[in-house]
Amino acid sequence: MERITIVGLGPLGTSVGLGLKKANLANAEIIGTSRERRNASNANKVGAVDRTYAGLGAAVNGANLVILDADMGETEDLLKTLGQRLEPGTVITDLGVMKSRVVEWAEQYVKEGVYFIPGRPLPKKPIANLEDADGDAFRDCRYCIVPPVSAPEAAVKTVVGLADALGAKPFFMDALEHDSFAAGTSYLPVVLSAALVTATTSSESWREMHRLVSTEWETVSRLASENPEDNHAISKANPELLAQWIDKLIAELQAYRAQIAEDGEDLLHVFIEAWEARARWEHGVVEDRAGPELPTSMQSMGAFLFGDRLMRRQREMSEREKARQWTYDRGGRR
Amino acid sequence: MERITIVGLGPLGTSVGLGLKKANLANAEIIGTSRERRNASNANKVGAVDRTYAGLGAAVNGANLVILDADMGETEDLLKTLGQRLEPGTVITDLGVMKSRVVEWAEQYVKEGVYFIPGRPLPKKPIANLEDADGDAFRDCRYCIVPPVSAPEAAVKTVVGLADALGAKPFFMDALEHDSFAAGTSYLPVVLSAALVTATTSSESWREMHRLVSTEWETVSRLASENPEDNHAISKANPELLAQWIDKLIAELQAYRAQIAEDGEDLLHVFIEAWEARARWEHGVVEDRAGPELPTSMQSMGAFLFGDRLMRRQREMSEREKARQWTYDRGGRR
C-alpha cells in the first residue's frame, strides 16, 4: 500500500487530494493533516482524503510521498521537522510559488536519504478559497518540477507521477530561472497594481476622482485587493529578482512617457506590438525556445488563425479611417 | 415636437438611443445618423431610434439637441461642420472621455447662439461592441457635465435632462479637472498594462516564461489587448496630464522598490493601505470632498460594515500566524 500525505489542506492541497482521489490510484491511500481544524474537516467532508490525523507525525508515518501545502514560513518549519524525521526513501514535494529558497532550505535541513523535489502546479484559474478546491484544477495545466541535481531518478519520477495523476503536464526548470519568471509574471503585476492604487488614491483629488473611476482602473487595481499579507510575503520571497523587474518596468514606462510627451512616431507601433505580443500569448502561438510543443500542423493552424485576426483588425482600422470624413448633405431617410 | 439627433450610433450612442426610447419622452422623436451603414441599420433594428437618415444635414434638421457619439478626430470635424450650420438655439453635447480639447474646439468652431455642453456618462460596465448596447447602461451611474462659463442655463438644463432621462446622476466638473482625473484612472492603467506586456514579452526568457504565465499577469495585461489604435488615441488626447501621472506612478514604483530591496519595515503597511483604499472605493465609503452623498445613516452603516470586514481580516491574519507553528506529534486520527 502506497501512502501519500498532504500536509496543510488549504485550497491547493485540497485540490490535489480531490484530483488524486479522482485518479483512483490502485493500492494507494491519501492521508491529510492540518493545523487548522476547519481545513481538515473540510477535506474529510469533500472527500479529498481517505482520512486525516491531527498529529503531523501520525500523518506522515509510513508515507512514500509527502506533499506540503504551506506558505514560505511554514514550509521552512516543515522541512526542518520532516527533513530529520522522515524515513529514508521518502519523497517530499511542495506546491509553492518560489523555488530557490526552498531548495536552499532542503540542502540545509533535509537529511540524506530523504528527497525533496520542489514542484509548482499552475492551475488555469486561481484557487484562493476552500470552496474553489477542484480535483480538475490542474487538468491539462503545466506542472513545473525543479529537481535538484543530486536527486535520484526514482524520486523525480514520483513527482512526475503526481503531476500525471492530476492530469497536468510536467516540465522541468532550474530554480533560479523559475523564480525570475515567477517574479516577472506573478509578483510584478501585484506591485504594479498596488502602486497604481497608491498613486491615484493618495492624490489630492481622489475624494472627487473616485466617482469617475472607470473599468480600466478597476481591472488593473484588482490585485491590490488580495490579502495584503500575501502581497507582502510575495514581495519578500525574492526581493532581488523582483527589484530587477521593477527596474525594467520603470524603464519601459519612461520610454512610453517619452513617446507620449514628445508626440513620438513610435507610440502607435509600441501599442500594436504590445497588443500583438499579448494576442500571441492568448492564442498560444509564442515561439518556444525549447522547440514546438504542439504538433507542427496545429501550430501553423494557430498562426494562420492569428494572422487572419490581425488582417481583419487591419481592415477594420482602415475602414474606420474612411468613415471618419463627415459631409453635410441632406441625403434621405434610410 | 422635440427632436433629438444622435450622430454616430456606435455602442454608446445606441445605448443612449435605447435609454431615451425607454424613457418614453412625451412629444419627442429620436433621430439617428451614421457614416457606417451597419451601425445605422443596427440602430433601426434594435429600436434605438425612431428613424435614421443617411445624410448628416437631414438628420440634424430641426433638432433641439444633437448628441455626438464619435472619436476625437470625428468630433473635431463634426463641431466644425455642425457649429456653423445648426440653427440658433440648438444644443450639442458629446459622450467622449476627454473634455478640455473639445471645449477649445467649441470656442473655435461653434458660432454664437449654438451651445456645446460637453458630457460624459460613466457606465458601470464597458460598452465596447454594438451587442453591448443597453438602454439601462447608464441607470444610477454618474453623468459628468462640463458646462462652459458662458453657457445659458437653459442649454445646461437640456443636457441635465438627458442625463435624467437615462436614469443617470448628473454632476458638474471643470474640463481640466475632469481630464486630469480621466488621465489618472482611465489612461494611466492602459499605459501600465501595455508597459507590463512590453517589459515581460521583450525579455530574453519570454519564450519559456510565457508557459508560466499566471492569472496575475493575465489580469493586469488585459488592457493591452484593447484596440491599439484606441490605446494610442487615448495617450495622445491629453499628453501633458498623462505624462504627469506616469511620473507619479514611477515615483510610487521607486518607493515600493526601495522597500522591497532594502527589506523596509513599511512595506506591509503600504500594501495594507493600498488594500484599504481600494476596499473603501469598492464599498463606496471614500470621504467625499463635495460633502456626503449618501444619507448620513447609510454612510455610517457602510463604514460600520467595512470596519467589520477589516476586523474580520485582522482576526484571520492572527489566526494564521498561530497556525503556523508545526510540532511533530503523533496525535490520533480526527
ipTM: 0.71
Q: Does A264 touch chain B (CB under 8 A)?
A: no
**For residues A281-290, b (16+ Cβ closer than 10 Å) or e, as one string?**
beeebbeeee
Q: Does A291 touch chain B (CB under 8 A)?
A: no
Cell triple for B205:
526568457
Tell which residue, A45, A52, A47, A50, has the closest CA to residue A8.
A52
pLDDT of A300 higher than 60: no
**DSSP letters of B219-242?**
HHTGGGGS-HHHHHHHHHHSHHHH
The reported pLDDT for the residue numbered A309 is: 56
pLDDT of B299 higher than 80: no
Of A82, A210, A246, the CB nearest to B286: A210
Cell triple for A251:
524603464
Distance CA(A143)–CA(A161), nearest Å, equals: 11
By C-alpha distance, the chain B residue nearest A236 is: B260
Cell triple for A139:
487538468
| Cross-chain Cβ contact A186/B274 below 8 Å | no
Pick B296 or B10 by higher pLDDT.
B10
Distance CA(B252)–CA(B229), nearest Å, equals: 28
Q: Residue B23, CB half-sphere, CA atoms under 13 Å: how many?
A: 26
Beta carbon pairs, A and B, within 8 Å: 410
CA distances (Å), origin A128, targets A113, B215, B231, B299? 34, 12, 32, 30
- Model confidence over A204-238: pLDDT tens digits? 778 877 877 888 999 999 999 988 888 898 888 88
pLDDT band at B3 (very low <50, low <70, confident <90, very high): very high
Distance CA(B306)–CA(B284), nearest Å, equals: 10
Q: Beta strand pairing status for A119-122 and A142-145?
A: antiparallel
- Model confidence over B5-45: pLDDT tens digits? 999 999 999 999 999 999 999 899 999 999 999 999 999 99
A52 contact residues in B (CB cutoff 8 A):
333-334
Distance CA(A216)–CA(B231), nearest Å, equals: 12
Cell triple for A312:
481583419
Q: Answer for the pair A109, A188: CB distance below 8 angstroms, yes or no.
A: no
The reported pLDDT for the residue numbered A123 is: 86
Whole-number percent of chain A with pLDDT over 70 = 86
- Model confidence over A149-176: pLDDT tens digits? 889 999 999 999 999 999 999 989 889 8
> For chain B, how many residues are written?
334
Give residues with Cβ within 8 angstroms of A143, minimum separation 6: A119, A120, A121, A122, A163, A166, A168, A169, A170, A171
Distance CA(A160)–CA(A151), nearest Å, equals: 13
pLDDT of A10 higher than 50: yes
Q: Within 10 Å of residue B27's Cβ, how many Cβ atoms?
A: 6
pLDDT of B182 higher than 70: yes
Rounded to two decimals, the pTM is: 0.71
CA distances (Å), origin A48, targets A16, A113, B211, B316? 8, 29, 28, 24
Q: Does A299 touch chain B (CB under 8 A)?
A: no
Tell which residue, A71, A56, A1, has the closest CA to residue A30.
A1
Q: Does A304 touch chain B (CB under 8 A)?
A: no
